A = this chain, B = another copy of it.
């Protein structure tokens, strides 16, 4: 690899990690806003999303420039195309954090529905998946990536639990329906962020092994 390609790829990685931190921060704030009923935090997430969007555009330009200038092949080519896809996934996670924040803002202005919902645990697992998937990417570490794939089942189960609990809440008190539907959305959005982290982890394995395990995850984990 030429010195210039190496340098540009390091800069690209750094930019992607910056975007990753911004998105992790947004998810974190959105969930704290939800759990602690803090409207002012939701606004930070919503306005901060413009910066996430700008960063995504910047990284895409940076990646395209590297492809055009250095015309990398093999592993380097796979890595840069992988970064462009992950870039996209991170931006979508940012949108989901905004969506959670909007629902947190709505809920903070209403009474609590009075049932224990373990969003901190679910969000903790989701954030860990995001972090691990990015670590796996920059270190080209398939072991880290596999951890993410395993954690996805845990988050799916937590999402299903939320559905059961919230449907019961609605059944017992129809006054809670609107709020419960908002909470169902939050749960689903967290689960979608976990899915996106899973996509990233799958892309890492694809990139490193040069072979796709996408759509073959179960077999891979046997």
Contact = CB atoms under 8 A, between A and B. Distances in A.
Interface in A142-178: 163, 167, 170-171, 174, 177-178
Contacts of A57: 212, 214-215
Interface residues of A, number: 33
Given A68-B73, A215-B53, A178 B167 contact: yes
A50 interface: yes
Interface string A195-220: 00000000000000000101100000
Contacts of A188: 185, 188
Interface of A: 50, 53-54, 56-57, 60, 63-64, 67-68, 71, 73-74, 77-78, 81, 84-85, 88, 163, 167, 170-171, 174, 177-178, 181, 184-185, 188, 212, 214-215
Given A85-B88, A184-B184, 8 more contacts: A57-B212, A57-B214, A64-B81, A68-B74, A68-B77, A170-B174, A185-B188, A188-B188
